[in-house]
């Protein structure tokens, strides 16, 4: 016998046919009723709060179980076509039940109804049962603009640094854009301070020690990094973690999110930094975070491990190398595709419309399709380490424990003709 839900039964008893279901939709339903209807719950708040940051200082952060994140703040950034793509990615049925909760949920309801969704309501008990909420394991590693602004103004914040902290902008080359406008009090690190030619691998441990001292960083300094490109900040972040800095965080979405929040900025050269007399511990503090070529090779063709390519599909199948200075095309034979973006300078597969990190469940689902799972030993690589570093920081925030960066990436691997490579269309093993 076909199961009839409580909601459908109530509508039938009221004498309502299925065709009049939309007109009879309650203005709000509780979580249990939505789940009984196999409905979809959508959180309309900014991703920071979805991920786990509480909206109030002593509040509880996180999202309802299995909720999707469609922030009302993204609506002005999404065309109907882009919203349609988001709907398709999440396999939403326009005749299915949708329940919304969070900031400006009505605006999201209006937009979804314009797109053709007929059964959209509100979640009556959204966020009202703290014990039910889910969050990123380490949401605090991805900070948001207002949190940083409050920290700078000495206001109490959730997950505050334990001791001294610094804000640093990271980018390649001279600080041209930084000089025009940057987050107040931010230092600047040129990525050439942490990586060098010929392969753009990390610099020696001795040079890392000198760089950290120059910027006044000890192992117990909390470092909050941001960049005009998120992956530039992530590249520096991973190398700092390798060195042994215990608490390294990213401004989620980078400079763009600070600018969009219309928070104060300043211009000019960074303030003079007092050098740190000593790092306080041996470098590297976490050597397992950065693998060499032989260590990466040892992960291939294993069920309990994945060497993961964070490169665009055209790079992965060998249509292009992705870089003007890397001539060989192809991919490491046995590597699994971890997604990236449209080309070597984009990471759309990992970003929300505002440039912040996509939900952990979305990312994990992408990876699972290629047999990349959290219980494995997982090492990410790209061309020279930037995109893979961003992904590594997201995996850490998601709570994946045994993760690392294959620093040399395709640039190093392809330089040795003895290394096995593969090209062409292919599917997961």
Any idea which residues carry the catalytic annotation?
382
Strand partners, 134: 63
Cis before 198 (ω within 30):
yes
Number of H helices and number of E strands within the chain?
15, 19
Q: What angle do CA 121, 123, 129 make, to 5 degrees?
A: 175
Its sign, for the CA torsion 70, 76, 184, 149, is negative
Cα(67)–Cα(54) distance, integer angstroms = 16
> Which DSSP state fits 305?
E
In this structure, what token pair is assigned to residue 226?
Answer: 């941001």
Cα(68)–Cα(92) distance, integer angstroms = 11
- Using alpha carbons, select from 402, 330, 315, 399 the residue that is nearest to residue 363: 399
Q: Nearest 5°: phi and psi at 91?
A: 55, 50
Contact of 378 with 403, CB cutoff 8 Å: yes
Cα(31)–Cα(41) distance, integer angstroms = 8
Angle between helices 205-214 and 230-243 (to 10 degrees): 110
Task: Spell out where 215-345 has E strands.
Answer: 222-227, 248-251, 290-291, 305-309, 331-332, 336-337
> Which DSSP state fits 405?
E
- Pairing of β 222-227 and β 248-251: parallel
């Amino acid at each position: 016998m076909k199961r009839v839900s409580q909601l459908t039964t109530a509508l039938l008893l009221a004498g309502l046919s299925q065709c009049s279901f939309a007109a009879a939709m309650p203005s709000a339903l509780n979580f249990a009723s939505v789940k009984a209807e196999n409905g979809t719950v959508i959180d309309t708040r900014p991703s920071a709060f979805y991920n786990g940051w509480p909206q109030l200082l002593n509040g509880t952060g996180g999202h309802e179980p299995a909720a999707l994140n469609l922030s009302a703040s993204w609506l002005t950034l999404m065309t109907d076509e882009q919203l349609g793509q988001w709907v398709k990615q999440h396999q939403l049925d326009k005749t299915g039940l949708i329940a919304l909760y969070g900031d400006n949920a009505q605006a999201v309801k209006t937009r979804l109804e314009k797109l053709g969704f007929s059964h959209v309501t509100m979640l009556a008990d959204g966020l009202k049962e703290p014990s039910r909420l889910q969050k990123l394991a380490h949401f605090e590693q991805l900070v948001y603009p207002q949190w940083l602004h409050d920290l700078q103004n000495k206001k109490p914040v959730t997950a505050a640094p334990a001791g001294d902290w610094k804000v640093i902008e990271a980018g390649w080359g001279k600080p041209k854009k930084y000089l025009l406008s940057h987050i107040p009090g931010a230092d600047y690190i040129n990525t050439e301070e942490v990586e060098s030619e010929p392969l753009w691998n990390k610099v020696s441990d001795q040079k890392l020690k000198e760089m950290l001292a120059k910027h006044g960083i000890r192992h117990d300094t909390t470092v909050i990094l941001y960049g005009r490109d998120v992956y530039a900040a992530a590249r520096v972040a991973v190398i700092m973690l390798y060195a042994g800095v215990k608490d390294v965080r990213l401004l989620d979405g980078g400079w763009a999110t600070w600018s969009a929040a219309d928070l104060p900025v300043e211009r000019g050269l960074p303030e003079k930094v007092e050098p740190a007399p000593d790092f306080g511990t041996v470098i590297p503090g976490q050597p397992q975070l950065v693998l060499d070529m032989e260590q990466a090779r040892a992960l291939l063709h294993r069920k309990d491990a994945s060497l993961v390519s964070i490169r665009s599909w055209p790079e992965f199948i060998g249509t292009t190398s992705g870089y003007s200075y890397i001539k060989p095309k192809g991919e490491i034979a046995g590597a699994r595709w971890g997604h990236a973006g449209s080309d070597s300078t984009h990471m759309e597969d990992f970003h929300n419309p505002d440039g912040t990190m996509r939900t952990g469940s979305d990312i994990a689902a992408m990876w699972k399709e290629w047999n990349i799972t959290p219980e494995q030993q997982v090492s990410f690589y790209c061309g020279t380490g930037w995109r893979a570093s961003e992904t590594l920081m997201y995996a850490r925030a998601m709570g994946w424990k045994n993760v690392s960066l294959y620093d040399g990436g395709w640039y190093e691997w392809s330089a040795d003709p003895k290394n096995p490579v593969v090209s062409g269309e292919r599917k997961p093993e």
